[in-house]
């Protein structure tokens, strides 16, 4: 290994020149997980491969650079990737960043990759993969799956990422999930020498990438004694009992004071134990591409507030499933993470899913399942038959369907009766009457209302900014960049109380009606303020008339049932996975006592919730986030030293 540059930065997508003497790469402009220090002057850079000179900026725009076949030019893409511009383009400049040429562009494309000999180009478009001769007309042309000016062939049946060429430019490779695919050009174009008279069908099965890692599991025994235990098994509350955890499993729950030999005892006198919170509609920062941080602050914020399971119904596929596996293997710390990955979007966008048949739906779901999705988000598919095709495909493939109707009442009701797993967000009318509650109760569809972003009214999030000084919460600030907290809480929206009484509280009253009718209601905090937001959502469910225990069930066992995980999660019961939280105060007395989390245990690992240091049978201190480092500009180190954020203007860091 050789260090090529001494200048810190976030460097991505390096590519060698054909003679191996130069490297071209991208310097990123920073992000909310790795910070913005050392991120000035982002762009495409060039440097000698031996590190003999510092990098030189070639162009401040563009991504995915690669050299031309003669090494005299640099190709790059503009418009981002998935969730980028509707039209992506490919340009090139010389090694000095001059004499720009525009080559081609395409609507709905994701990623263009030019062959080493510059005679071919492959690209992904609405998740499918295509290949065509490189059009060399001297001016920019359109290049899409529908282009007629050059021959175009589809090579990936369902989808493909990590598109790359063989060194001889004759074979295209890509991956989908844990499968590796290859396709020779002679199997897609009849006019090439060596091609077949009859071209073979596209491969649906690739070479398996056999990478397995053991799931993380701590060792040792921990006994929580003298605790009030809200088990979520029916209405059971053990006023003074013991929970014994061995490894990552709850071994016993009883009113007896029994500490197994060799166990680490934690005296919970005056404290309350309940299952970890299940956030069934969480967004925890996975809407970007690039490198995963070693510590993702959203995960720590959630754990610090007792959220031990997150279901993200909309995220960038590659990031969220990679991190889900890293969490499972113990390489990252955070809640259990499940996701739909990229949504099945029915409106326009470079990420939309075109579904006009059951086969279309199956292809889309095979794509998401290959990455690790156990659920899919059917989002604004405009026609009911399209939504029904997604459900039919999901039943066949064993995938849950969590839809969103875009705040449309009749759209939502058709989702209920058609058999979706849930309806995400609240029905956008209130109050609900018996016709709706009776209809809904006749189905098994759950509702994750996300009152924190209440549809049809002022969002509940604003209520808590108005009624509490959120920027003073030291625990929140320990795990969240100040820019996130301050911009929302210090510059808050103020509204008359009746806006909330006739807003999210009225919606919450309808949720109580649904629950009384037999509809399961889940907690979902929508990622508005990771960690603390889950408690706001819990408190807002109670504002509509639910008892404290009923609201707590929405935060625990209901979400587990909705996700099909109630055999393992959602209650304190022998044999279930050890996800639990220890509270300093009793939430059955005051629902807002849920915020006072003393310890969080996820998968048997115990954390001091205030610091997120691992304790119990381990002693592992958490390292610093980027925003805790000197010079980060976050300012939290000043707060901890002085107890105040009011600092002279002259003293704020740039």
DSSP state letters, 571-616: S--TTSB--EEEESS-TTT-GGGGG-EEEEEETTEEEETTTTEE-T
- CA pair distance 449, 425, nearest whole angstrom: 4
- In what helix (H) or strand (E) does residue 130 lie, and over which residues does it extend? strand 128-133
Structure tokens at 182: 């290859």
- For residue 243, which phi and psi values (nearest 5 degrees)? -115, 125
Region for residue 538 given its phi and psi (left: phi exceeds 0; alpha: psi -120 to 50; beta: otherwise):
alpha
Query: Does residue 167 fall inside a structural domain?
Result: yes
pLDDT of residue 531: 98
How many C-beta atoms lie closer than 10 Å to residue 364's C-beta? Answer: 24
pLDDT of residue 313: 97
Structure tokens at 7: 């200048």
Query: Does residue 643 fall inside a structural domain?
Result: yes
- For residue 374, which phi and psi values (nearest 5 degrees)? -110, 0
Q: Which domain holds residue 99?
A: 61-208
Query: Does residue 20 fall inside a structural domain?
Result: no
Q: Which of 169, 185, 208 is the last residue of a domain?
A: 208
Output the CA–CA distances (angstroms, integers) from residue 180 to 126, 173, 370, in the order listed. 20, 7, 12
- In what helix (H) or strand (E) does residue 64 lie, and over which residues does it extend? strand 63-67
Of 603, 600, 518, 616, which Cα lies nearest the Cα of 568?
A: 603
What rounded mean pLDDT belongs to the chain?
94
pLDDT of residue 258: 82
pLDDT of residue 635: 53
| Residue located via tokens 């002259």 | 650
- For residue 626, which phi and psi values (nearest 5 degrees)? -60, -35
- For residue 409, which phi and psi values (nearest 5 degrees)? -60, -50
Domains identified in the chain, total number: 2
Query: Model-level pTM greater than 0.85?
Result: yes
Query: Does residue 629 fall inside a structural domain?
Result: yes
pLDDT of residue 138: 86
pLDDT of residue 512: 98
pLDDT of residue 649: 33
What are the DSSP calls for 377-423, one per residue? -EE--SSHHHHHHHHHHHHHHT-EE--B-SS-HHHHHHHHHHT-SEE
- CA pair distance 457, 112, nearest whole angstrom: 43
Instruction: Note whether 310 and 302 are within 8 A (CB).
Output: yes
Output the CA–CA distances (angstroms, integers) from residue 25 to 31, 46, 51, 94, 565, in the order listed. 18, 7, 13, 15, 44
Query: Does residue 221 fall inside a structural domain?
Result: no
Query: Does residue 137 fall inside a structural domain?
Result: yes
Query: Does residue 111 fall inside a structural domain?
Result: yes
Q: Which of 173, 208, 243 is the last residue of a domain?
A: 208
Cis peptide before 431 (omega within 30 of 0): yes
Q: Which residues contact 539 (CB under 8 A, 6 or more apart)?
A: 551, 591, 592, 594
Residue ranges, the chain, pLDDT below 70? 633-654
Q: Which of 186, 208, 230 is the last residue of a domain?
A: 208
Structure tokens at 21: 């003497």
- CA pair distance 307, 458, nearest whole angstrom: 25
For residue 645, give the 3-state DSSP assignment.
Answer: coil
Query: Does residue 80 fall inside a structural domain?
Result: yes
- Tell me, what DSSP letter sits at residue 654? -
């Amino acid at each position: 290994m050789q260090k090529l540059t001494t200048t810190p930065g976030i460097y991505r997508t390096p590519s060698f020149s054909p003679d191996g003497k130069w490297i071209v790469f991208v310097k990123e402009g920073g992000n909310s997980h790795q910070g913005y220090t050392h991120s000035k002057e982002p762009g495409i850079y060039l440097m000698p491969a031996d590190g003999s000179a510092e990098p030189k900026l070639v162009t401040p725009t563009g991504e995915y650079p690669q050299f031309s076949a003669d090494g005299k030019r640099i190709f790059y893409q503009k418009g981002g990737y998935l969730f980028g511009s509707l039209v992506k383009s490919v340009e090139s400049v010389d090694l000095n960043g001059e004499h720009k040429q525009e080559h081609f562009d395409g609507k709905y494309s994701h990623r263009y990759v030019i062959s080493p000999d510059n005679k071919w180009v492959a690209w992904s478009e609405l998740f499918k993969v295509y290949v065509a001769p490189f059009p060399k007309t001297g001016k920019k042309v359109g290049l899409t799956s529908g282009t007629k000016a050059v021959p175009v062939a589809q090579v990936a049946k369902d989808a493909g990422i990590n598109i790359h060429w063989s060194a001889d430019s004759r074979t295209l490779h890509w991956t989908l999930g844990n499968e590796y695919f290859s396709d020779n050009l002679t199997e897609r174009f009849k006019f090439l020498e060596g091609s077949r008279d009859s071209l073979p069908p596209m491969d649906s099965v690739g070479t398996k990438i056999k990478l397995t890692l053991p799931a993380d599991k701590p060792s040792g025994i921990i006994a929580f004694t003298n605790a009030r235990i809200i088990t979520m098994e029916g209405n059971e509350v053990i006023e003074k009992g013991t929970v014994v955890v061995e490894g990552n499993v709850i071994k016993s729950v009883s009113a007896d004071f029994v500490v197994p030999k060799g166990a680490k005892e934690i005296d919970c006198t005056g404290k309350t134990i309940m299952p970890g919170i299940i956030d069934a509609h969480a967004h925890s920062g996975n809407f970007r591409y690039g490198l995963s941080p070693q510590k993702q602050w959203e995960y720590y914020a959630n754990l610090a507030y007792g959220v031990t399971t997150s279901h993200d119904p909309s995220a960038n596929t590659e990031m969220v499933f990679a991190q889900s596996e890293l969490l499972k293997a113990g390489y990252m710390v955070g809640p259990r993470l499940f996701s739909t990955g990229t949504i099945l979007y029915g409106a326009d966008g470079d990420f939309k899913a075109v579904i006009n048949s059951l086969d279309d739906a199956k292809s889309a779901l095979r794509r998401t399942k290959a990455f690790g999705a156990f659920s899919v988000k059917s989002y604004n598919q405009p026609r009911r038959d399209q939504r029904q095709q997604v459900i039919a495909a999901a039943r066949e493939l064993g995938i849950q369907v969590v839809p969103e109707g875009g705040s449309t009442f009749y759209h939502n009701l058709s989702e209920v009766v058609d058999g979706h797993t849930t309806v995400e967000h609240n029905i956008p009318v209130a109050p609900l009457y018996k016709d709706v509650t009776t209809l809904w109760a006749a189905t098994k569809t759950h509702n994750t209302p996300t009152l924190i972003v209440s549809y049809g009214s002022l969002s509940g999030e604003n209520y808590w900014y108005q009624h509490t000084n959120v920027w003073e919460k030291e625990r929140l600030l320990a795990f969240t960049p100040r820019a996130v907290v301050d911009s929302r809480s210090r510059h808050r929206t103020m509204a008359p109380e009746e806006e909330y009484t006739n807003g999210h509280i009225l919606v919450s009253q309808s949720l109580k009606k649904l629950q009384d009718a037999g509809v399961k209601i889940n907690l979902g905090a929508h990622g508005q303020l990771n960690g603390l937001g889950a408690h706001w959502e819990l408190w807002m469910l109670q504002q509509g008339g639910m008892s404290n225990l009923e609201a707590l069930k929405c935060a625990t066992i209901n979400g587990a049932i909705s996700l099909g995980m109630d055999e393992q999660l959602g209650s304190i019961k022998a044999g279930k996975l050890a996800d639990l939280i220890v509270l300093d105060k009793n939430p059955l007395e005051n629902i807002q006592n849920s915020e006072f989390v003393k310890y969080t245990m996820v998968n048997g690992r115990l954390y001091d919730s205030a610091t997120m240091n691992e304790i119990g049978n381990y002693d592992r201190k958490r390292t610093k986030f980027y925003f805790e480092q000197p010079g980060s500009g976050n300012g939290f180190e000043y707060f901890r030293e002085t107890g105040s954020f009011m600092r002279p203007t002259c003293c704020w860091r740039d």
